[in-house]
Amino acid sequence: MSGQHERLVQLISDMEEVEAMALAREMLDGGAAPTEMLGICREAMDIVGKRFEQQEYFVPELILAGEMLEQIGDMVKPLIAEAAEGEGKKSIGKVLIGTVHGDLHDIGKNIVTFMLDVNGFEVIDIGIDVPPEKFVEMIRTEKTPVVGLSGFLTLAFDSMKETIEAIAAEGLRDDVKIMIGGGQVDQKVCDYTGADAFGVNAMQAVSQCKEWFGVAS
């Protein structure tokens, strides 16, 4: 499967839509795990993001990459939902999630939102290019104990930091746990932004939210 894995990453990152979708379907029909497909999506988007920041790609390529990942997501989601059925879906708690100001990327956010939903969380998705004051407003009105800040481009790191500072300035920081995700997030970025945790993929985001809500993974 590793050869197909690498090939699909390459096809997506090279904007070969028809071949990429055909290979994705072939892999899933051949028994590839949904989690592997989500991992492929992340690897490909990491490459696309780097090419965008190096000005090898521009907005049209970002849009096309997003469309390809959405198509793969549509293939994968029914399999994930099917696996989650029968596990007794119940409301664990509220999670507020949005892509920070200055970033229009939503594929990673959408995958995390879906995974949280099928695992029993009530997810409040406030979209893309969300200003700090909107996060503050929604934390106040929805009383969400967990907040997810998504951002694909490195410019989003400053927006994440500004958002968390705004939450703190309004006296709400002690009331929420904040996770960041998307793009090249790591512990260094987590420390820089002031977040409580970071997630490198949707499964890790779910596990962290379950830990915060005191639910066994």
Q: Where are the domains of the chain?
A: 2-84, 94-212
pTM: 0.75
* Position 88 pLDDT exceeds 60: no
Q: Report the CATH fold assignment for 2-84.
A: 1.10.1240
| pLDDT for residue 153 | 84
| pLDDT for residue 50 | 84
| pLDDT for residue 200 | 84
Q: Positive or negative CA dihedral for 163, 168, 170, 173? A: positive
Q: Regarding beta strands 177-181 and 122-125, do their DSSP bridges make them parallel or antiparallel, or are they unpaired? A: unpaired
- Taking phi over 0 as left and psi of -120 to 50 as alpha, with beta for the rest, 105 belongs to beta
Q: Which helix (H) or strand (E) holds 107?
A: helix 107-118
The 10 Å CB-count burial string (b at 16+, else e) for 67-102 is ebbeebbebbbeebeeeeeeeeeeebbbbbbbbbbb
Give the integer Cα–Cα distance in Å for 74 and 76. 6
Query: Mean pLDDT across the stretch 90-114?
Result: 89
Per-residue DSSP letter, 32: -
Query: Mean pLDDT across the stretch 111-133?
Result: 90
Q: What DSSP assignment string belongs to 135-177? A: HHHHHHHH--SEEEEE-SSTTHHHHHHHHHHHHHHTT-GGG-E
Q: What is the percentage of the chain residues whose pLDDT exceeds 90?
A: 59
Q: Which helix (H) or strand (E) holds 181?
A: strand 177-181
Q: Could you report the per-residue pLDDT of 2-55, keeping only the tens digit for each? A: 799 999 999 999 999 999 999 999 999 999 998 888 888 878 887 887 898 789
Q: Report the CATH fold assignment for 94-212.
A: Rossmann fold (3.40.50)
* Beta-carbon-side half-sphere exposure of residue 148 (alpha carbons within 13 Å): 35
* Position 87 pLDDT exceeds 80: no
